[in-house]
Amino acid sequence: MEMLTVTDLLQNATYDQIVLSICFAAVVVTGSMMHLSAHVGNMTRGKRLGSDERTQRLKLQTISENEAPIREKAA
């Protein structure tokens, strides 16, 4: 059985096949980068914000800031 090299495949492939394989490779690479980015982001989220107590304080502060205009409109 003879081994096929990349150059052999490219010589025998049509332009459309080459373009489709490049598009497929681009989708795989960008999908992998997106998956890795989301995974690393989830791992570092707690380290950036600090402890759970600080996270809760930030959430409460954000909620109270968002509710203030609603209370003023109601009054």
What residue ranges do the domains of the chain occupy? Answer: 6-74
Helix ranges (DSSP H) in the chain: 6-12, 15-49, 52-74
Q: What value does the mean pLDDT take over residues 24-34?
A: 96
The pLDDT of residue 75 is above 70: no
The pLDDT of residue 73 is above 60: no
Dihedral over alpha carbons 16, 21, 22, 27 (to 10 degrees): 130
Note the pTM of the prediction, 2 decimals: 0.48
